[in-house]
């Protein structure tokens, strides 16, 4: 079994920024040479998330609006007394910090309309790191 670990680095524009990382992740899988296994996409950080969603501008706006409605800002959260980003943490927890995809015959398997996105949920622009780990043979 082989393990290839890479990192993506990029900056975000603050709440709520969506960054399509599909091409970068697929390139890492291709370059890894691993034919069959899995690829993990993980963000170390409590106010970022990894999701899959269709890359269509209307839908991306719908997604942002749904997040605002599900977990509104400034609802008197307890964590808000410290740094006013409780809603960022809560949204990140609901979405999750990682996604895992099968790698079959050297390719990451996903649906045609299932792009991979990093979601910036913090209240300010950030430098982000996403770990991509391909495991298999």
Least gap, CB of 12 to Zn ion (angstroms): 16
CA distances from 12 to 17, 76, 100 (A): 6, 26, 23
DSSP per position, 26-49 = HHHHHHH---SEEEEEE--STTEE
DSSP assignment, residue 61? H
- Give the nearer residue to Zn ion in terms of CB position, either 50 or 90: 90
Q: Which of 25, 19, 94 is nearest to 53 (CA)?
A: 19
Least gap, CB of 42 to Zn ion (angstroms): 20
Least gap, CB of 85 to Zn ion (angstroms): 4
- Give the nearer residue to Zn ion in terms of CB position, either 2 or 83: 83
- Give the nearer residue to Zn ion in terms of CB position, either 55 or 80: 80
Q: How many residues line the site for Zn ion (CB under 5 A)?
A: 2
DSSP helix/strand/coil, 59:
helix
Residues 47-86 that bind Zn ion (CB under 5 A): 83, 85
- Give the nearer residue to Zn ion in terms of CB position, either 79 or 107: 79
Least gap, CB of 41 to Zn ion (angstroms): 23
Residue with tokens 């290839």: 4
Residues 79-98 that bind Zn ion (CB under 5 A): 83, 85
- By CB under 5 A, name the binding residues for Zn ion: 83, 85
């Amino acid at each position: 079994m082989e393990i290839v670990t890479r990192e993506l680095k990029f900056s975000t524009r603050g709440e709520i920024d969506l960054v399509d990382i599909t091409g970068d992740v697929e390139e890492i899988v291709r370059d890894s040479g691993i034919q069959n296994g899995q690829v993990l996409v993980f963000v170390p950080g409590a106010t970022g998330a990894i999701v899959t969603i269709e890359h269509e501008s209307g839908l991306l706006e719908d997604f942002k609006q749904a997040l605002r409605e599900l977990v509104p800002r400034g609802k008197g959260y307890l964590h808000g007394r410290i740094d006013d980003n409780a809603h960022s943490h809560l949204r990140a927890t609901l979405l999750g910090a990682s996604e895992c995809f099968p790698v079959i015959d050297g390719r990451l398997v996903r649906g045609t309309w299932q792009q991979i996105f990093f979601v910036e949920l913090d209240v300010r622009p950030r430098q982000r790191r996403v770990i991509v780990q391909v495991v298999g043979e």
